[in-house]
Structure formats: structure tokens, C-alpha cells
Structure 1
Amino acid sequence: MPRKPYPAPLVISPLSKEHTHTIIALHGRGSNAERFGREILASANLQARLPTVKFVFPTASKRRSTILKRIPIHQWYDNYSLDDPGQRTDLQIDGLCETAEFIRGLITKEAHILGEGGYRKLILWGLSQGCAAGIFTVLGGWPDITEPKALGAFIGMRGWLPFEQHLNEILQYEDNPALAGNSYHEKQSDDHDIEGGDITSDEESERDEFSKSKLENGPFQRPSQLRDDFNPFIEGEEEEELPLPIQAINYVRDILDLPMLSTDEKSPVPSNLFQLQTPVFIGHGSEDPKVSVCLGEKMSRVLSTGLAMNVTWKSYKGLGHWYRVEDEIQDILKFLETHAELPVEDGSPVSST
């Protein structure tokens, strides 16, 4: 299958002569770099607050949306339902694989520009489907498994974890106290709205009308039913001896068409999973009508408890499917200042979007 073309990213150079970090930010389904990038930069006054940061806003390629009667829209991959992203996982694989390759290319380019330690100075940020595609890319890691390429941070807003149920079943973390003891999960609750200005109202209403039409009685399988159809561990016994995090990451890497990992280590989270050293911030509106806050919680739990990642989870009371500058963006900047050593200037947001 030929690769889908990706438009040239929107690139915003640092205001300062010094370039310390790069943020690559992924829009939601149906949006684009100009719409998402210009809006978040202006509303949160990010250039002034982060003068040494280069911003890169890529645009997803146009893919036919199954739920929108095969209308071509900008989306990182084709997902059938936002109520249950586990539906029709077969539709997601090609797009996730292509998008992850594209994002890895952007990351590598920017890391080389930043120079020594460049990967640690790079932040991947995603909204809604951009969050989903971004975190899946992070978990997959790199084709060369010997290089320690953890990122400075991952920021996810209003997102979910693709194949979450499958990864949950592999990790079995609720029955694995060794994993639970190694997790770090800072949970806090506090809480505008679009796949954030992402899908037009006509597209969204069409999706909602279709998604409510007897999906449970339709021909589509639930995620648990799909697992036997798509499971890199279904044949062979040797993988069962690998630590559960390796099995989970290999599941992701198989989807992304990357080489499988192995290890001689017996520790719960082997040290060669460098990508799991990336600190993660996940924010979600408690009243999100498009992507349930429960999906954000599930993603956070898999990452923190199942994979022992450093995860900060925050739910924002009263907030929908968009971000809010005065608390969420402020929390994100504090997180980046602490975990990615990002220089943050004092300043007030332009608006509270």
C-alpha cells in the first residue's frame, strides 16, 4: 500500500536566539496544523512563555473515514468510534504504522538539530487523536533498539490509548504486584470543545448519528473478539517467558512493523525499554462529550501501573473536549519545567479559550 502524503509542517522558530527545546504538537482528527497550531500558540501565549522553543505542527495525511461514509479527512489513522476506540481495530493498523514512521522522522530530524542529548530536549504533544497516535508512537520506540532514545516529555490532552484493552490483557497488572510497586502515577483532579475545532459540526453530527445506530448489534467485533485475529503472540511459546512489559511493547511494535525486542533481564521492567523513561502528562476534561474521561484514565493506568512510566494524570472539572489555559496549560508548563528542564517565562495568557 503506498504511503499517504503528509503536508509540510507549520514551523515556528524560537523568539530567542537560543534554541533549547522543540515541541512537536499533533492536532485532532479533522483539524490541521494551521488551525490547531495558531490557536494554541495565541490563546496560551506560548511563544512568549517559551521563547527558546521551536514549535513544529505537522498535519495528518488525508484518509478516508469509515464512520463518515469514507469522506477524506485529515486524520492520523482511521478509527471507527470515539465512544469505544476498540471497535474495528483492523481499520487502525495501516494509519498508525504510517503515522508512527512519519513522527519518528520528525523527531529524529529535530533531535539532530538540537545536537547532543537532542531527544531529551524534544517534547511530543497531542490533542485527541493526536494524543492517541503520539503515545502509541512513543511506546513503539525506534527501529534500532540499542539506542537510548527517551524523549523529554509526552503531553496528552483528551486522548486515549489505541489497543488499550489488548495491552491491558497482556500486562495483567492488576494481578502483578511487582509491576504495581514500580509504577509512578500522580493523580490529581481539578477540569471548550472540538476534536477541538477539529471536526466540522456537520462531520461530527454525521458521525454521532451513525455511531448510535445499533453498533452493538452490528457485524463488528468487540476488541476481545479481535484479539485472536490480531495477536503477535498467538503462535509460539517462547514469548510467554518475556517480561510482561516486553510482551506489551512487542505487541505495539508488531502493529508498527518494527523488530521484536528480547531481553535476558528478569526485572519487571527491563532497562532496554528506553522509551518508557519518557515522562508523561495526561489531562482530560471531566465533562468531555466526545472522548470519555474514562478513556484517559485507562490510558494513564496502563502507562503508570502496567508499564511503570512516570505519569501525571489530571482531570479538569467542568471541562469538555478542548483545553483551558488558566489551569491545564499552566499545569503543563510547570510539568515541562520540572521534567524536561524547559525554560518557562512568567506571563499571562492572552485568552482562556
Structure 2
Amino acid sequence: MTAIKPNIHVVAPTATHTHTIIFLHGRGSTATEFESEFFESQASDDRFFTQIFPGIKWVFPCAAMRHAEVDNEEMCQWFDMASVQRPNERMELQEQGLQESVEFLLRVLKDESAEVPMDRIFLGGISQGCATAIHALLQNGARLGGFIGLCSWLPFEDAIQEIVQKTSSPTQRINSIRQLLSLDHDTEDPIVLQTPVFLSHSEDDGVVPVANGKALCDGLKALGMTVEMSCYPDGGHWVNEPKGVDGIVAFIESVMERSGF
């Protein structure tokens, strides 16, 4: 079934634009719904993300409406899948949607890089949004400012583990991963692996087991990426407040400081 074209929800900066964050919602949500809930999250000092970072442009892409085979209904999702608890099941359901969503995100990244350079753009998401954004990151040919992932997993985890075991060359690894989605993005420079990553997951997540998030962390580290992961005892399938918010803020601030802001 042909997917309805995704759209984008943008929250403009209230000060001089210095950085951009592209953040993807989860399966069954929408860009506007996620933005509203995410911006209600507060740090330890009771401030919201837009108050802490007035110079950041927030870009919230919205997934297309796709047919969910298991549920036999149309829903807003980046790709179809059999189970978020067991994401490696029935990978054939995931491939087309993941490929289309990654291509869409690569266009979003290119468009946003016309305003600020790639090393001042963050990419990330929650749940299936993060899972999609990870592959968009690995398909991208440039180092980003940072990656932020919440409550998620690594699609094609088994295949990526096999790639890591078969070759020690970063270039060969990244190109082999790109071929998993049959996208033509081969490179001689695996600089994207230098993108710093922050992951967050709650132990009581009843949707995506924290073990899946830890496997995502291990998989990215095996590729040679620098990954910081924070796990919290509570928070469910969302951002722990306030410590989880503090962690995201600290990560963004550290990247901004390194880029001179």
C-alpha cells in the first residue's frame, strides 16, 4: 500500500539560530503530539527544553500512515513490524518502510544543513523513531553534532553483529550496513562513526525492554562509536524526569561547548 507522504513540524528558535535538533516520534504517535508531550518535560531546575536552548531549531518529522500487518490497521509508523518487544522478528515487514523513512530523513538532513552545518545538527528519536534515526545516521555521509536515542533498539541487530565479526575496517563495516537497506551511499570516509551518541532507557519500560536499549548501545560501541548510556529505575516508555531530561541537556551542552557555543 502506498504510504501517505510524511510531513514536518518545526519549532523555531527564539534567539539566534545556532543548532538544529531533528527528533522522531514513536510508532502510533505523530510529530505534533510528540512535540507537545516532549516540551512538557522539565529539568531539575524546572526549565523546559525551549527555555534552556533558545537558539535551537526543533524539527519534528512525522511518519507516514502505513498498513500494520499484525494489527490489520492503518497507523502512523516509520516502518511496519511484528513486535517492538522482539524487533528482530519478521524483518521482511520492516525493510521497505525503513528504507523509505531513511531516505526521507536524509533529505531532511540535507535541507537543514543549508541553514547550519552538519556538525551543528543533532539527530534522534524515541522508540521506533530512534530505531529509524539510527539507520539514517549510519546512511549519512557526514559527522553530525550528536545523536540522542530514547527507549529504543537496533534494527538489523543480528546482521550488524555479523558484519562487525567479519571485518575490522570501519569503511567496510559502514558500507555493509548501508547495503542492508539497498541504498546507494557507499563511502570511503566513515566519519559518521565519530558522531557522539547519548542513549537513555528506563528499567521499567513496559513497551521496549531495557535489554533492547543496552543491545543498541553495545552494537554502536562495536562499530567504534562513542556512546554514553543512562538507565533509570523508573520513567516507563518515556523520558525520566528530571534526571533523564538533565542527561539530555548535559549531552547537548557538551556538544555545543565543543563547537564553540
Same fold (TM over 0.5): yes
Describe how 1:195-234 pairs up with structure 2 within 5 A: none
Do the aligned partners of residues 5 and 340 (structure 1) sit closer, same or farther apart at CA in structure 2, a change above 3 Å counting? Answer: farther
Deviation at 1:302, TM superposition (A): 1.1
Q: Residue type matched to 1:10 in 2?
A: H
Q: Identify the match of residue 64 of structure 1 among 45, 64, 67.
A: 67
Do the aligned partners of residues 260 and 334 (structure 1) sit closer, same or farther apart at CA in structure 2, a change above 3 Å counting? Answer: closer
Describe how 1:280-319 pairs up with structure 2 within 5 A: 280-304=197-221, 306-319=222-235
Instruction: Please name the residue that 1:228 is paired with.
Output: none
Cα distance per residue 1:185-212 (max 9 Å; x no partner): xxxxxxxxxxxxxxxxxxxxxxxxxxxx
Relative contact order (alpha carbons < 8 A, sep ≥ 6): 1 or 2 greater? 1
Normalising by structure 1, we get a TM-score of 0.68
Q: How far apart are the structure 2 equivalents of 1:141 and 1:47?
A: 27
CA contact (8 A) 2:23 2:124 kept: yes
Deviation at 1:262, TM superposition (A): 6.7
CA contact (8 A) 2:7 2:63 kept: no
Residue 56 of structure 2 is aligned to residue 53 of structure 1? yes
CA contact (8 A) 1:97 1:255 kept: no
Deviation at 1:66, TM superposition (A): 1.5
Q: Which one has the largest radius of gyration?
A: 1
Residue 180 of structure 2 is aligned to residue 255 of structure 1? yes
Instruction: Please name the residue that 2:153 is paired with.
Output: 160
CA contact (8 A) 1:32 1:60 kept: yes
Runs of 4+ in 1 over 4 A off after TM superposition: none
Q: How far apart are the structure 2 equivalents of 1:42 and 1:54?
A: 17
CA contact (8 A) 2:171 2:187 kept: yes
Q: Identify the match of residue 23 of structure 1 among 21, 24, 43.
A: 21
Deviation at 1:257, TM superposition (A): 2.7
CA contact (8 A) 1:27 1:126 kept: yes
Aligned residues: 255
CA contact (8 A) 2:25 2:126 kept: yes
Do the aligned partners of residues 103 and 284 (structure 1) sit closer, same or farther apart at CA in structure 2, a change above 3 Å counting? Answer: same
Q: How far apart are the structure 1 equivalents of 2:229 and 2:119?
A: 21
Residue 125 of structure 2 is aligned to residue 122 of structure 1? no
Residue 237 of structure 2 is aligned to residue 321 of structure 1? yes
Q: Residue type matched to 2:65 in 1?
A: K
Q: How far apart are the structure 1 equivalents of 2:6 and 2:219?
A: 32
Deviation at 1:244, TM superposition (A): 4.8
Q: Residue type matched to 1:334 in 2?
A: A
Q: How far apart are the structure 1 equivalents of 2:185 and 2:13?
A: 38
Do the aligned partners of residues 103 and 78 (structure 1) sit closer, same or farther apart at CA in structure 2, a change above 3 Å counting? Answer: same
CA contact (8 A) 1:336 1:342 kept: no
Do the aligned partners of residues 84 and 11 (structure 1) sit closer, same or farther apart at CA in structure 2, a change above 3 Å counting? Answer: same
Do the aligned partners of residues 295 and 337 (structure 1) sit closer, same or farther apart at CA in structure 2, a change above 3 Å counting? Answer: same
Q: Percent identity?
A: 37
Instruction: Please name the residue that 2:96 is paired with.
Output: 94
Instruction: Please name the residue that 1:133 is paired with.
Output: 132
Do the aligned partners of residues 5 and 261 (structure 1) sit closer, same or farther apart at CA in structure 2, a change above 3 Å counting? Answer: same
Cα distance per residue 1:190-247 (max 9 Å; x no partner): xxxxxxxxxxxxxxxxxxxxxxxxxxxxxxxxxxxxxxxxxxxxxxxxxx7x645444
Q: What is the DSSP-based 3-state SS (H/G/I as helix, E as strand, rest coil) of the residue aligned with 2:193?
A: helix
Instruction: Please name the residue that 2:191 is paired with.
Output: 274
CA contact (8 A) 1:282 1:312 kept: yes
Instruction: Please name the residue that 2:45 is paired with.
Output: none
Unaligned runs of 5+ in 2: 43-47
Task: Give the root-mean-square deviation of aligned CA atoms.
Answer: 2.1
Q: Residue type matched to 1:40 in 2?
A: F
Do the aligned partners of residues 322 and 246 (structure 1) sit closer, same or farther apart at CA in structure 2, a change above 3 Å counting? Answer: same
Instruction: Please name the residue that 2:110 is paired with.
Output: 108
CA contact (8 A) 2:41 2:245 kept: no
Q: What is the DSSP-based 3-state SS (H/G/I as helix, E as strand, rest coil) of the residue aligned with 2:136?
A: helix
Deviation at 1:260, TM superposition (A): 6.2
Q: How far apart are the structure 1 equivalents of 2:112 and 2:95?
A: 26
CA contact (8 A) 1:25 1:58 kept: yes
